[in-house]
Structure 1
Amino acid sequence: MSVLNEIAWLLPELAESQQKIAKFILDNPEAILVMSSSRFAEDAGVSQSAVIKFSQKIGMKGFPALKIVISEELGRNNQFKTYPHKALHNAISSEDSLMVMAQKLAHEKTAAIIDTTKKINFAVFQQVVDIINHAQRVQIVGIWGSGLTAKDLSYKLQKIGILCLAEADLHVQLATAQALTPKDVQIVLSFSGKRKEMRMASTMAKAQGATVIAITGNKETPLAKLADYVLESISDENEWRSSSISSRTAQNTLTDLIFLALLQRRKEIAKPLVLNASMTINNLDD
């Protein structure tokens, strides 16, 4: 994850003085590059030691190291703004060799998995798994790239005996949301958390008393504020996004973990179902 994105993700969880530092950096990323730590502290309204501690909190040795990383990040962003015709996806350029593209892609997707896993609140995650396990029905909502993740999760959950509703058609999604009950769960996937359609579906589900679980970019998205439970899918697609690549990787990290946790929780019922499904499919090849 880029350092500016990491600071933005951390912002809601920071102490007051650290929030001042984070907001100052996010508002003035270019200006801070020529500041000393003492000048930065004065302008941000914090102590110099707080600036050093903040830098260390996000994995830097100190303020100079933080400035170097931000400078490099701004340089990459400016390069794609100056030469947009060279951009393929995120940090991947049209001038990269196939090997370099593969390396950058692997780094991006690996970072999404690691960053998403680091953000998991496992106490909340266990609650989410328990709620899904006891749900009468589970509606899984998503469009575009998130719709692919939604469909994949629905296949997995149905395989272990959980009744899922996952339709690609938006109108069907909204109609289904209106028909949910307090015994049902809605899982809604949206990396940006800003899609009006997803917020409508969640609002309708909440109105029927269903529990809403959001898988979204961070806890501050509009969708997250509607949900009963939030799981954060972290990826660094902020430069030039050609498709939902690492964001879908981040979502799959969470949905696959949900599936595995439910498989573990329901092993007496689920494992025979998985084995029977596998045997049935194998018999089709005979």
Structure 2
Amino acid sequence: MSPLVKIRSERDQMSAVERRIADFILENAQLLRDYSSQQLADALGISQSSVVKFTQKLGFKGYPDLKYSVGEAIARADNGDAPQPAAASAREQAASLAEQLWRRKSEAEEATRLINTPEAIRAVAEAIGQAGRSGKVFIIGLGEDDIYARGFALKLSLLGILAVHNFDTARMTANISAAAPGDVLLVFSEHGNHPALGKIARYFREHRGKVISVTRHTANPLRTLADMSLLVSAHDEQPYIQPLLYQSALQHLLDNVFVLLCEGHDDRRAQLLANLERIQLMLEP
């Protein structure tokens, strides 16, 4: 596993000093080979022991071990990161940008996979599956989060699972009045700090239902309220790239849950095929 991916995946759980070290390494990985632990500490205005503790917390024997590992990761990625010659064609430049974006998405998906254990993802799938047998799965997301909430609700419906989707907090509050023990509420919120969603989660728990939050890998109010969490790790210094990484990693995570809901359930797969066939017939002229 790349040390840079590991740093990205654990950044949100780090202290303020550790995040400063992490950000410096991520932004200056190419230059790290020229820095000793003391020089890095001086550049950040922290103690050398803080740098050493940071590397050991990541699982490395010491700073030289981390520096060597980062150097190896950069060497493996050099082909994709090499600057394009001035005479490169527009097609070559476009291909290079596409390759870099694909690699960054892959790193975000890997980091997200590391923080969501197979057991945690399976537990989420089992909770949704159990609710779908005789109950309901409530799903809400606001703004851009609703894109993924809506898409996942459709996938559950195709499997024959009753999904109650809404992007209006007042209507969802009314819907939840019909919730029963064993039902599940999926709340999509990238930053997990929307007050209305927190109130809905509390109200749902009063009905003894399970709350599953879908947020970034940060400490946030919604995640604290949830019984289970799906977490996304996606970071980039470019503001136009970071949302793309988040969306890609989130979709991959949701796809994993969907596959688990299908695996070993012939009845759900049969329902999926039947529904897809009906939809196709509806779309035909």
TM-score by length of 1: 0.71
Change (3 A) 1:134 1:240: same
Question: Which amino acid in structure 2 is aligned with residue 166 of structure 1?
Answer: H
Q: Which runs of 5+ in 1 are unaligned?
A: 12-18, 69-95
Does residue 269 in structure 1 map to residue 264 in structure 2?
no
Per the TM alignment, residue 193 of structure 1 is displaced from its structure 2 partner at its CA by 1.6
Question: 1:71 maps to what in 2?
Answer: none
Q: Which residue of 2 aligns with 1:132?
A: 128
In structure 2, the partner of 1:252 is 251
Change (3 A) 1:47 1:192: closer
Q: Secondary structure at the match of 2:250?
A: helix
Pick from 260, 276, 279: which aligns with 1:278?
276
**CA–CA separation in structure 2 for the residues paired with 1:67 and 1:193:** 32
Structure 1 residue 160: deviation in Å?
Answer: 0.9
Q: Which residue of 2 aligns with 1:82?
A: none
Q: 101, 119, 124: which one pairs with 1:123?
A: 119
Aligned partners of 1:193 and 1:217 also within 8 Å: yes
Among the aligned pairs, what percent are the same residue?
Answer: 20
Q: Find the counterpart in structure 2 of residue 197 from structure 1.
A: 196
Q: Distance in 1 between matches of 2:241 and 2:194?
A: 18
CA distance, structure 1, for counterparts of residue 63 and residue 13 of structure 2:
15
Shift of 1:157: 0.7
Residue pair 1:177, 1:202 contacting (<8 A) in 2 also: no
Q: C-alpha separation between the residues in 1 aligned to 2:61 and 2:188?
A: 28
Query: What secondary structure is seen at the aligned counterpart in 2 of 1:232?
Result: strand
Residue in structure 2 matched with residue 53 of structure 1 by the alignment: 56
CA deviations on 1:41-77 (whole Å, 9 max, x unpaired) are: 9954848864553566499854656999xxxxxxxxx
Deviates further, 227-236 or 191-200: 191-200
2:160 corresponds to: 161
Change (3 A) 1:226 1:61: same
Task: Kindly indicate whether the alpha-carbon contact (under 8 Å) linking 1:7 and 1:22 is maintained by their aligned counterparts in 2.
Answer: no
Shift of 1:99: 3.7
| Aligned partners of 2:5 and 2:108 also within 8 Å | no
Other structure's SS at 1:274 match: helix
**2:215 counterpart of 1:216:** yes
Q: Confirm or deny: 8 A CA contact 1:141 1:188 kept in the other structure.
A: yes
Kindly tell me: are residues 46 and 178 of structure 1, through their superposed partners in 2, closer, same or farther at Cα, counting changes over 3 Å? farther
Contact map agreement 2:5 2:111 (CA 8 A) in 1: no
Alpha carbons of structure 1 residues 247 and 121: separation in structure 2 relative to 1, 3 Å:
same
Gaps in structure 2 of 5+ consecutive residues: 72-91
**Alignment partner of 2:208: what SS?**
coil
Question: What secondary structure sits across from 1:166 in the alignment?
Answer: strand
The one-letter code sitting in structure 2 at the alignment partner of 1:253 is: H
Query: For structure 1, which segment, 54-63 or 198-207, has the greater mean C-alpha deviation from structure 2 after superposition?
Result: 54-63
Q: What corresponds to 1:106 in structure 2?
A: 102
Aligned residues: 250
Distance 1:139 1:60, change over 3 A: farther
Q: 1:268 to 1:198 in 2, by over 3 A?
A: same
> After superposition, what is the alpha-carbon deviation per residue over 1:111-144, rounded to whole angstroms, capped at 9, x for unaligned?
2222212222122222222111111110111122
- Contact 2:139/2:164 (<8 A) preserved: yes
Change in CA separation of 1:242 and 1:257 when aligned onto 2, cut-off 3 Å:
closer
Structure 1 match to 2:179:
180
Kindly provide the amino acid, as one letter, of the partner of residue 126 in structure 2.
D
TM-score w.r.t. the length of structure 2 is 0.71
Residue identity matched to 2:187:
V
Cα distance in 2 for residues equivalent to 1:194 and 1:52 = 31
In 1, the alpha carbon distance for the partners of 2:237 and 2:206 equals: 34
Please tell me the root mean square deviation across aligned C-alpha atoms, in Å.
3.9
Shift of 1:181: 2.6
C-alpha distance in structure 2 between counterparts of 1:58 and 1:178, whole Å = 54
